Amino acid sequence: MSNDRSLRFVCAGVAFALAVLAYLLQGHVDPRAQAFIRQCVASVQGAHYTVHFQNGDPLQGMALAEALARGEIVAIQADRPRSGGRTVDATLFGRPFSLPAGPAALARTAGVPMLPVFAIRVRRRGVRIVFRPPIEVPRTADRNTDFAIAMQRVAGEIEAGIRRAPHQWFVFRELWPEA
């Protein structure tokens, strides 16, 4: 890893296009649409960045950790657990909310902080990028508690981001079903 410590971005899901792509690529639509989206994403990849979609590959985390060790930037959504993926219990607006464990696991393994980033649309074609303070993942003997502590901090940042721009957080599932 480089001396200046790589930063690992955590995108909080306010970027509508990424949220839609994640939803579409999880098998909820026509396979032809998925193939089209994959083709579109592949057409914009270049030497400076690569797009990886979570596909259940157990080695993907290692590839991302290696990218961080090379000083590259890795961006992952932190507010949308993958169906069947490992989650961490947190709270959002005082209610239970599951977050993916992957961002904290990757940051802890690579020894880098998570940096919450929000993309807020302004006007018709403008976007304001908001960087929040880095979140360190503790490194104690209790890995699960370390993940929970870090991801609760991420949840706090997500909640603050939603409060700043509530009309820009898109939810594709019922968060808190009525009992």
Tens-place pLDDT, residues 58-90: 788 888 888 888 887 788 888 877 777 889 999
Task: Give the pLDDT confidence score for residue 14 in this predicted structure.
Answer: 35
Contacts of 23 (CB under 8 A, 6+ apart): 172
For residue 75, what is the enclosing H or E element? strand 74-77
pLDDT tens per residue, range 115-154: 888 888 888 878 888 888 999 999 999 999 999 999 999 9
Write the DSSP symbol of residue 168.
Answer: G
Which DSSP helix (H) or strand (E) runs through 33? helix 31-44
Where are the domains positioned within the chain?
Answer: 8-15+58-168
Using one digit for the tens of pLDDT, what is the confidence trace for 10-58?
A: 444 433 333 334 444 444 456 676 676 667 666 666 655 666 666 667 7
Radius of gyration of the chain (CA): 16
